Amino acid sequence: MAPLSTLSLRVQKLTSEIKEKEQELAKIRKAERKTYKIYIRARGKLASKKQHDLQNPKTKKWYNVCVKSTDDLQALTAKLEQAESELVSLKQRRSDGVAQDRATFEEMLLRR
């Protein structure tokens, strides 16, 4: 059986990792919102053009921005899903560590 201090250190380390992962998620979400706003702006510019001619430099520019933002959104969504999955895993490990810590502590109290 691991000593009580080791268990609490493990839980503290997991808590730190969870905070870091939550900060990473916040950054990804912020980037996703920004990219979505860029997509909406580009889409609006394309919709407002009277001529849908990709030979026009301005139309081509907004089309390229629209395509790039779509690709970026897909990449950010995949990254967000992975980070959320890792966060759930970390929280589960912390929960298991807390349960183990509690059981060890109760056992220690019963011995006294």
φ and ψ of 50, to 5 deg: -70, -35
Dihedral, 68, 73, 78, 80 alpha carbons, nearest 10: 140
Q: Give the pLDDT confidence of 36-77 residue by residue, as tens digits.
A: 999 999 999 888 866 677 888 888 999 999 999 999 999 999
pTM metric for this prediction: 0.79
pLDDT of residue 80: 97
How many beta carbons lie within 10 A of that of residue 99, not counting itself?
Answer: 10
